[in-house]
Structure 1
Amino acid sequence: MRFPRRLLRPLGVLVGLCVLLGVVTAGMAFPVAGGLGVLSNEAGDSVTSSSVDLVNNRAPLTTTLTDSDGRPIAYLFDQNRTEVTSDQISPAMKAAMLAIEDRRFYEHGGVDWQGTLRAVVANSASGDVVQGASTITQQYVKNYMLYVDAQTEAERLKATEQTPARKLKEARVALQLERQLSKDEILNRYLNIVFLGNGSYGVAAGARTYFNTTPDKLTVPQAAMLAGMVRSTTQFDPVQNPETATERRNVVIDVMRDQGMIDEAQAREATDSPLGIADPLVRVPNGCIGAGDTGFFCKYVVQYLTEAGFSEEQINRGGYTIRTTLDRRAMEEVKRSLDDQVAPDTPSVANVMSLIQPGKEKHRVLAMGSSRTFGLNADAEETSYGLPYQPVNLGAGSTYKIFTAATALEKGLGINYSMQVPPSGYASPIYVDGGGRPIPVANASDGLPGRMSLTDALAQSPNTAFIKMLEFTGVPDVVDMSVRLGMRSLATTPFVDPGTGTRTDRSIAEVIKEQRLASFTLGVTPTSVLELANVGATLFSEGMWCPPSPIESITDANGEDVPITEESCQQAVEPGLANTLVHGMAQDDISGTSAAAAQAAGWDRPMAGKTGTTQQNKSAAFVGAVPEMSGAVITFDNSNRPRPLCDGGNGPFACANGNIFGGKTPARTWYGAVKPLLDGTPVTPLPPTDPRYLEGGAESRIPDVVGRGLSAARGELEGAGWQITTRTVDNTAPEGTVVGQEPRGAALPGEQVTLQVSSGSVPAPPPPPGAAEAGDGGPPPDGGDGDGGPDGGGDPNGGGPPPDDG
């Protein structure tokens, strides 16, 4: 008997299908039968393993970063997918998908042989795909293999190849899966995994992308459009092909009506409605680039999580909700103040700031930002480099004098110590060039008094005084103090050889200590703005250092808490030292180098601050703190060839001879951001001082001999080990009486004590009123902070000792 030609093809297909059915049945009944490779032990194990993975593993989900109030700031994903439960999906959506993709879903056991035979006949007769053969269970298996298992393009092609072996495995896994999960669970998982075009994976993403709604609110026409896109997200894209998409949607509606899912009136109303898609589509920006002004903070969060042990794959596929420490209002004020001082499109100039909340158990990062917009368009002065937390190579100037002062307090001096202020041109034995020759040190202003308290020195920032103090403290201990208080990257960042540009296996801190580079106290080393802000947080936490943490909590897709390993807090210095140093830095806004900026901002509460400027004014910095928050600002030329910066009326700009100082743009930025955040809140006093760190320890105390006769005074001082010099002054006290002593109260070991001895004569009359006394100790003009530091070689990645300090 001969069959007509038109029947040969479908008959052949039917025969092949019968054979396939027999193989699958045999495979399920006898998974280790021999004779066919597809039914080997290996194949059976593969099917079992796949079904176990399907049951236990989730599809990639979108991770959401939120601010401290729970409002989203960024989304991180490989696939834009938000998982929802079955009761969070509208009945219309489920009905539409079942109607067009698998009408017998609740009747078959994973493979619909009846539907498959019908589809084979229909498709063979037409010569095209007019009916689908795969069940929703099979489609779920295929989607899982494609979107979860496949990691490479080759694996993705293999997951969708049209071969009998793949189809057989898909069918066998589907049959096994139906024994492990309920029908409703399979349908829900399928609706969560299916791709719906335009970057939308799953119905939650699809509902948001096309209709700006949630899946529980999807209407019949909306659900029908989404279900219709499963066959081809390109052909039925409602943006690119609205007419075709509408026709396909109406086909789904008609099928829903024919199957009794909706009545005639509902079908007519649905088909008459417009597509109604959002214009533009509601796309979820992927990654920190879509986070706007919080992009730098977002990038820091990702880096922090990576360093804590999270992989990039975990973050981008885990579906976490990461509640951060970001304070939305603080972020707004920081960004506003940064941009007020330096316009975002200013060529080659960056103004960056970080803000941290002190605490003995956690230092929360409240905000960080840059005047430069976070982005990828370099022509528009955008950058994605972590400016507010990565080290700035130009340094932070005299803010590093904080570390010298802290070391001096720890070694026995007090904050009231009267320190020597050598005049400009001072040649220190430790401040030398490569050949060991002393290099004169200069101050930003002349006429300073010969001695001033450590408190006044922190406010007025004479370089010579701190280089002189460094002779006592030693460079290595000051470097270690900086790391303890917060500059941790100095101990972890490799030193780059300035001659060859190659990285070494030693850290910057190690090289500075080994070479005893005295310019360290002038702040020439690479500085992280975030770490500098954390120094203030450490001091206002009674000396307790904690890592600057951006994480409040992490929960997984099930709402379960996910632990994160953060570095433990450490007592960096004694509480009394930290509290007293805070008081020692409390004059900067009153008589110090940021006084003008503080006055202009209307600053009216206690604070601790320190300015900094590097040589040639290529960068300037300010660190300021109150009990509620600590912040740091650095303004610098961030081009490949930094030039000096001038502080003009419209903000800093590159110039030939710089005049920017820490008391200018950086201080104005800090006061401009912090004051609005504190307005209307109670004024918190500074912590109490510790007498031990006010006047110094016993090792630094010297006898007070004022009023004694010279012979007795000399005997007492020399007996205590101090060297004495004398100077005769006109005074009405009896001749030979000590009427003055420098230093008085405390002194550096080995420091010479000068006694002023009365001549017994009447002193000269005072100068007429209005005459200025040289060196009144007032703040340097125009916010200058007496800073400086190398611009060229000597200090790792920053420079060596300068001939002067700008």
Structure 2
Amino acid sequence: MGFRVAASQAKALGKLLALCVTAGVVLAAILFPYVGGIGVAANRVSDTIAAVPADLVTAQLPLGSTILDRNGNPIAYLYDQDREIAKPEEISPYMRNAIVGIEDHRFYQHNGVDAQRSLKAVGGFVAGESAGGGSTLTQQYVKNYLGYVVARDEAGRKEAMAHSPARKIREAKLALEVERLMGKDDILVRYLNLVPFGGNVFGVKAAARTYFGTTPDKLTLAQAAFLAGLVNKPSSLLKDPKEALKRRNLVIDRMLETGFLPEGPQAAEAAKKEPLGIAQPLNTRPNDCGNLDGGTTTGFFCGYVLDYLAKAGVSKDDLKRGGYVIRTTMDPVATEAAKRAAENQVPKDTKGIANVMAVVEPGAGKHPVRALAANRDFGIDASKGQTAYRLPSTITRFGAGSIYKIFTAAAALDHGIGVNEQIDVPASHTSSIYKNGNRPYTVTNDSEGGGGKMTLQDALAHSPNTGFVILEERAGLDKVVDMSVRLGLRESMKSVNRGGEKPDPDAKDPSLRISQEQWVKDGKIGSFTLGVTVTSVLELANVGATIVGDGKWCPPSPIEQVLDRDGKPVAINEAPCDQAVEPGLARSLAQGMAKDTTEGTAAQAARNVNWDRQMIGKTGTTQIHQSAGFVGATPGLSGAVLTFSDSDTPRPICDGDRPFLCKTGNIYGGKVPARTWFEAMKPLHKDIPPTPLPPADPKYLN
């Protein structure tokens, strides 16, 4: 019993000390409003105060970013706090008066600390009640600034907003400083732009839109009173309409009592009779990729924008708080066409098969990405055919098959072998250079290939395996691999190899974590020309853009322009364009690839849509038919399609009215991938004037 009494006395003594300390702060604030320090008590929390940024008055509030398509339409919003900044003239007098009337009716008389309110709060604290209720609007501004601007996580927020005498001291000191530097109206506007209104809704502008579908300058008395009552009790009021109505009417009564409703009792009574009128559903702003209307289609592009900006030095966290406007290169027409074609060829509920497409516009100074699409919707519900993987822009685990013969052909041209040169294409070839483990490496042709001899141009159209392994031997494997990087596989070939026995991406020994590029070169992987390494659909599309763009490589960029919150352009760190191969070689390679859609492996798919333009094209299929692809480009647009098994246990793919997983597989690049490409690209070229491919450079012909 004695122990309990002693403990009780100690507790009472502690509360008394807290009362004395806080009361001293309040008294100092009243007597010495312009003194930099406010006594010994304040100095005891100097470490906490020193941690507060000096820009408490001028710092920009967290503001979400908007990602736009090329036409200026939003495809995503990203934010930590859904906030829009309202200018002073954009906030109605009702809203200003309502918040002052209910929260701090002596706001225009005090210097940031109100002695009556503070002493009342301290008394409540000593009595074991909440320490709330004593803060002025200026102190509340400080508290919310510390909690929602300075603090970056929930732990920091709780610490910054803890109920304690120390917090009161800190708030009092900073409130005095704020009032010394800012006018009352400025403080009020900053407050209304800062505070939370429930959920992720911050600031009066977002609140007016969310709850009433209006702007803060058009808020009625009843609406403004509801929002003012919501500031400090959002959770409970949003759950209980009756309590919300009572709170709103209390705000109206308090406005009348304190002189902040000049229209008088009649206006008050009329407003109190109005229903709450809250929007149903609320006008909440979707957050992150894929959550805006149409996001299941645009989400892949949005994801690539985030990845691209992160590599350029603008993180997702920067976007969520920095208030940027990202103008992208996404063409909604091209995106919809690619999505429709991908899904028509492989319905999105097809089990275990993804059909993915990327479209890039060639150019000498920029390669804008126009579309990233898949038969899958962007999302997290796999039962609805959704995926959150960035299928069109990330590196897939499957190869592109004979599409990689493009790089062998380019290296052969660079080595002095002409487009019209007759090359050997025997039915079978055993390499004297490359090995298959400890055995000789032997390659044969399948139904896509030919036999005997044919020109390099015909070989690109008919795709005989043996001829390209022989060309790879002549040009040199390292040169072929280097050419793949130069023309566009810059990320794919840098990725960590996950095939073969030796390479191990998780190994502690760095020598075992080697790139695709190094693995192929070190292991003398002659099958590289047959497209056995992992690849990126987007990079394949960019390879096409490089070839038809006179050999000028540019990063596949989704960014048109980045603007800061003030509308000023922001420079981002994008890789510069470079001349991957000389224009004559690129033009000759393009002519070498011009027969695939007229008499080669993609000819039937081209005829299906009555394609009549000159273009480059190359199909590809991996050995056991788990993936197949097509790359095609005109001077106006380049695109790539990859169809692959995306299940946890990949299986071969069979073609048909509806592709399906099977035991042996019969899919080829000239089937689903080429059909997808032509279905998408035919309408997209409707308004692009036909432009023939430039002629080959004579020095690369023979």
Deviates more, 1:308-317 or 1:168-177: 308-317
Q: Work out the CA distance in 1 between the residues paired with 2:16 and 2:529.
A: 90
Task: Please give the residue correspondences for 1:210-249 in structure 2 after superposition, counting only pairs within 5 Å.
Answer: 210-237=211-238, 240-249=239-248
Q: Which amino acid aligns with 2:72?
A: G
Match of residue 568 from structure 1: 576
Is 2:425 aligned against 1:426?
A: no
Q: CA deviation at 1:255?
A: 2.6
> Structure 1: how far apart are the matches of 2:448 and 2:72?
50
Query: Does the CA-based 8 Å contact 1:93-1:218 persist in structure 2?
Result: yes
Task: Determine if the alignment matches structure 1 residue 173 to structure 2 residue 174.
Answer: yes
Say if 2:29 is the partner of 1:19. no
Partner of 2:446: 443
Give the match for residue 342 of structure 2.
338
Q: Which residue of 1 aligns with 2:115?
A: 113
* Residue number among 661, 681, 684 corresponding to 2:688 in the alignment: 681
2:12 match: none
1:6 paired residue number: none
Q: Which runs of 5+ in 2 are unaligned?
A: 1-14, 506-511
Match of 2:182, SS?
Answer: coil
Instruction: Render the CA deviation track for 1:7-45: whole Å, top value 9, x for unaligned.
Output: xxx9999977653323445786665687x35326x72x7
Matched, 1:624 2:632: yes
Structure 1: which amino acid aligns with 2:686?
A: D
Quickly say closer, same or farther: Cα 1:617–1:328, change in 2 above 3 A.
same
Paired position in structure 2 for 1:199: 200
Judging changes above 3 Å, is the alpha-carbon distance between structure 1 residues 69 and 89 closer, same or farther for their aligned structure 2 residues? farther
8 A Cα contact 2:360 2:556, kept in partner: yes
Amino acid at match of 1:517: I
Whole-Å separation in 1 of the counterparts to 2:93 and 2:70: 35
The root-mean-square deviation of aligned C-alpha atoms, in Å, is: 2.6
Q: Is the 8 A contact 2:548 2:587 kept in 1?
A: yes
> For residue 71 of structure 1, what is the aligned residue in structure 2?
73
Deviates more, 1:333-342 or 1:596-605: 596-605
User: Cα–Cα, structure 1 residues 450 and 498, in superposed 2: closer, same or farther, change >3 Å?
Assistant: closer
Match in the other structure for 2:420: 416
Displacement of 1:97 after TM fit? 1.5
Q: CA distance change for structure 1 residues 538 and 445 in 2, over 3 Å: closer, same or farther? A: closer
In structure 2, the CA distance between the partners of 1:249 and 1:37, relative to structure 1 (3 Å rule), is closer
**Could you report, residue by residue, the CA deviation over 1:454-487 in whole angstroms, capped at 9, with x for unpaired residues?**
1111111111111121121111100000000000
Structure 1: how far apart are the matches of 2:38 and 2:443?
Answer: 91
- Alpha-carbon distance, 1:529 to partner: 0.4
1:804 paired residue number: none
Aligned to 1:661: 668
**AA in 1 matched with 2:24:** V
**Partner of 2:67: helix, strand, or coil?**
strand
Q: Write the distance in 2 (CA, Å) between the matches of 1:354 and 1:661.
A: 19
The residue that corresponds to 1:460 in the other structure is 462
Tell me if the contact between 2:25 and 2:172 (Cα under 8 Å) persists in the aligned partners.
no
Q: Secondary structure at the match of 2:628?
A: strand
Aligned to 1:256: 255
Aligned equivalent of 1:766: none
* 1:51–1:173 CA contact under 8 A, matched in 2: no
CA offset at residue 405 of structure 1? 0.8
Work out whether residues 622 and 633 of structure 1, in 8 Å CA contact, stay in contact via their aligned partners in 2: yes
| Structure 2 residue aligned with 1:633 | 641
Does residue 377 of the first structure (1) align with residue 381 of the second (2)? Answer: yes
CA distance in 1, matches of 2:631, 2:460: 12
The answer to whether residue 590 in structure 2 is matched with residue 582 in structure 1 is: yes
1:406 corresponds, among 410, 432, 442, to 410
Aligned equivalent of 1:390, options 394, 404, 410: 394
**Alignment of structure 1 residues 471-490 onto 2, 5 Å:** 471-490=473-492
Q: Assess, with a 3 A threshold, how the Cα gap between structure 1 residues 537 and 21 changes in structure 2: closer, same or farther.
A: same
* Contact 1:624–1:632 under 8 Å retained in 2: yes
Q: Which stretch has the larger CA shift, 189-198 or 249-258?
A: 249-258
Deviation at 1:214, TM superposition (A): 2.7
* Cα offset, 1:127, TM superposition: 9.9
Distance 1:296 1:22 in 2: 60
Change in Cα spacing, 1:127 to 1:218, as seen in structure 2 (3 Å) is: farther
- Alignment deviations for residues 508-542 of structure 1 (CA, whole Å, 9 cap, x no partner): 10111122211011111101001000001111221
In structure 2, the CA distance between the partners of 1:499 and 1:420, relative to structure 1 (3 Å rule), is closer
Moved more, 152-161 or 574-583: 152-161
The question of whether the paired residues in 2 share the 8 Å contact of 1:352 and 1:635 is answered with yes
Q: Give the match for residue 315 of structure 1.
A: 319
> Cα–Cα, structure 1 residues 127 and 615, in superposed 2: closer, same or farther, change >3 Å?
closer
| Superimposed CA distance per residue, residues 167-189 of structure 1 (whole angstroms, 9 cap, x where no aligned partner) | 01101101101111222221121
Deviation at 1:59, TM superposition (A): 2.5
Change (3 A) 1:506 1:130: closer
Secondary structure of 1:616's match?
Answer: coil
Q: Amino acid of the residue matched to residue 343 of structure 1? A: P
Residues matched between the structures, number: 677
Would the alpha carbon gap of residues 418 and 209 (structure 1) be closer, same or farther in structure 2, given more than 3 Å must change? Answer: same
Residue identity in the other structure for 1:100: I
Q: What corresponds to 2:11 in structure 1?
A: none
For the structure 1 residues 373 and 27, does the alpha-carbon distance in structure 2 shift closer, same or farther, using more than 3 Å as the test? Answer: farther
1:360 aligns with 2:360: no
The answer to whether the Cα contact below 8 Å between 1:644 and 1:654 also exists between their aligned partners in 2 is yes
Distance 1:529 1:16 in 2: 67
Tell me, yes or no, if the aligned pair for 2:629 and 2:673 is still in contact at 8 Å.
yes
Give the C-alpha shift of residue 388 in structure 1.
Answer: 0.7
Distance in 2 (CA, whole Å) between partners of 1:467 and 1:621 is: 20
Structure 1 portions without partners, runs of 5+: 1-9, 696-806
Q: Which amino acid aligns with 1:442?
A: N
Quick check: 2:542–2:638 contact (8 Å CA) kept in 1? yes
Where does residue 528 of structure 1 map in the other structure?
Answer: 536
- Equivalence for 2:303: 299
Question: Is the CA contact 2:34–2:180 (under 8 Å) kept in the aligned structure 1?
Answer: no
Query: Are the structure 2 counterparts of residues 337 and 462 from structure 1 closer, same or farther at C-alpha, using a change threshold of 3 Å?
Result: same
- Paired AA for residue 648 in structure 1: G
Q: Distance in 1 between the 2:132 and 2:299 partners?
A: 47
Instruction: State how far apart, in whole Å, the 1-side matches of 2:675 and 2:664 are.
Output: 21
Distance 2:126 2:582 in 1: 88
After superposition, give the CA deviation of every residue in 1:158-212 in whole Å (9 maximum; x if it has no partner).
2122211110110110110111122222112111111111321111221222122
Counterpart residue number, 1:701: none
Aligned mates of 2:136, 2:694 — CA distance in 1 = 70
Could you tell me how far 1:120 is from its partner in structure 2?
A: 7.3
Pick closer, same or farther for the CA change 1:16–1:506 going to 2, 3 Å.
closer
Q: Deviation at 1:563?
A: 1.3
TM-score of the aligned structures, taking structure 2 as reference length: 0.91
Matched to 1:411, the amino acid is H
Where does 1:781-796 land on structure 2 (aligned, <5 Å)? none
The residue identity in structure 1 corresponding to 2:27 is G
AA partner of residue 166 (structure 1): R
CA distance, structure 1, for counterparts of residue 579 and residue 16 of structure 2 = 83
Deviation at 1:544, TM superposition (A): 0.7
C-alpha displacement of 1:628: 1.5
- Structure 1 residues 54 and 472, CA gap change in structure 2 (3 angstroms): same
CA contact (8 A) 1:50 1:173 kept: no
Question: CA 1:440–1:456 in 2, change beyond 3 Å: closer, same or farther?
Answer: closer
1:668 aligned partner, one-letter code: R
1:684-707: CA deviation from partner (whole Å, max 9, x where unpaired): 222343222223xxxxxxxxxxxx
Shifted more, 186-195 versus 674-683: the winner is 674-683
Aligned to 1:773: none
| 1:467–1:48 distance in 2 versus 1, CA, 3 Å | closer
Aligned pairs (5 A) from 1:579-618 = 579-618=587-626
Shift of residue 385 of structure 1?
Answer: 1.3
Greater mean deviation of Cα atoms: 252-261 or 388-397: 252-261
